[in-house]
Amino acid sequence: MRIFSTATELQQELAHLRADGATIGFVPTMGYLHEGHKSLLLEARNQNDIVVLSIFVNPLQFGANEDLDRYPRDEKRDMLVALETEVDFVFMPDVSDMYPESPLVTVKVQSGVDVLCGSSRPGHFDGVATVLTKLFTIIMPTRTYFGEKDAQQLAIVAGLIRDFNFPIELIPVPTRREADGLAMSSRNVYLHEDERKVAPKLQEALQIGRGMIVAGERDVETIRQAVSHFINTHTHGKIDYVDLLAYPSLERIHRVEGQVILALAVYFQQARLIDNVIMDQHGHQSTVLR
């Protein structure tokens, strides 16, 4: 495993490998790797000759009152995960390397950002799209891997790849969960003991909503209210949103038709947790990006 801190050195190394016909799998992260990240890296390892992991806490996707400085970091642990999953190259640039000056050009996402997490994080997905455009250009991977837990991000990345004609295959990877159903997240470390006990109720709430669809319910507001009521009854978390949208277009709908996403975000004392379920109109879980 080799570690690169500058884009130029990594580009030169990958250019030689690409010229020899090697396939490159890329997993972009902000570090503090957990089992969810491992699943992305293992999938990349299974499908490619070379695996590239990037670790970069991107300041452009954090708002003025968000947790950039508090974002958990553990470089030693990250390196152990990279070794365990047989990563070939780790790209760990400094902010000064990625953004040596105030950017002249950034990427602005035009749709799908006024719902779910984007509604309370203006500019967040512009920052995500900008850094991914840079990383895709630096690495030029054959395939890139994203988790379904960040489903809004996944949909926006699919649009970025399509609209900018990146010759990259996007591979969605199912959400990794703890034994009790809680979606794995770097922010779970901030849950207090009593919050950690009830946090799995978020996935349970989503499955109640999915069950309503399986049973034939099609009215979006009825499903939203049932999921919200369950969360309010079984946790002390504060709901940021519970929403049911078309997917991956992220358009608002009144009735369940085609592929949809039922998603939520809930604030606990020191952590904001997200989760979702993507399914067809009959409640069968699936992810189709088109």
Count CB atoms within 10 A of the CB of residue 72: 16
Any known ligand binding at 75? no
- In one letter, which amino acid is 271? A
Q: What is the pTM of this model?
A: 0.93
Any known ligand binding at 34? yes
Any known ligand binding at 229? no
Any known ligand binding at 187? yes
pLDDT of residue 187: 86
Of 36-45, 57-66, 77-86, 118-127, least confident by mean pLDDT is: 57-66
- Its CATH architecture, for the domain 186-279, is 2-Layer Sandwich (3.30)
Any known ligand binding at 237? no
229 an active-site residue?
no
Place of tokens 């047989």: 86
Strand partners, 272: 267
So where are the chain's domains? Answer: 2-173, 186-279
Residue-wise pLDDT tens digits, 137-195: 999 999 999 999 999 999 999 999 999 999 999 999 999 999 999 998 888 989 999 99
Q: Which of 273, 277, 265, 203 is nearest to 234 (CA)?
A: 203
Place of tokens 């490159």: 24
68 within 8 A of 59, measured Cβ to Cβ: yes
Strand partners, 242: 264
Any known ligand binding at 238? no
- In this structure, are strands 238-246 and 260-267 parallel, antiparallel, or unpaired? antiparallel
The encoded tokens of residue 152 equal 């809004």
What is the number of H-type helices and E-type strands within the chain?
A: 10, 9
31 within 8 A of 78, measured Cβ to Cβ: yes
Residue-wise pLDDT tens digits, 83-96: 999 999 999 999 99
- Evaluate whether 2-173 and 186-279 have a shared fold: no
16 within 8 A of 134, measured Cβ to Cβ: no
Residue-wise pLDDT tens digits, 203-224: 999 999 999 999 999 999 999 9
Residue 230, pLDDT > 90, answer yes
pLDDT of residue 121: 84
pLDDT of residue 155: 97
Q: Which CATH superfamily, name and number, covers 2-173?
A: HUPs (3.40.50.620)
Any known ligand binding at 149? yes
141 within 8 A of 25, measured Cβ to Cβ: yes
56 within 8 A of 98, measured Cβ to Cβ: yes
Per-residue exposure over 229-257, b if at least 16 CB sit within 10 Å of its own CB, e if not = ebbeeebebebbbbbbbebbbbeeeeebe
34 versus 257: the higher-pLDDT residue is: 257
Active site residue: 16, 37, 236, 284, which one?
37
Residue 69, pLDDT > 80, answer no
Cα separation, 271 vs 269, in Å, equals 6
Helix, strand, coil shares of the chain, percent, nearest 5, are 40, 20, 40
Name the average pLDDT for the chain: 95
The encoded tokens of residue 18 equal 């690409």
Any known ligand binding at 102? no
Any known ligand binding at 37? yes
Average pLDDT over residues 49-71: 86
118 within 8 A of 124, measured Cβ to Cβ: yes
Q: Which helix (H) or strand (E) holds 263?
A: strand 260-267
Average pLDDT over residues 12-19: 96
Residue 129, pLDDT > 90, answer yes
For the chain, give the longest Cα–Cα distance. Answer: 58
The encoded tokens of residue 200 equal 């799995």
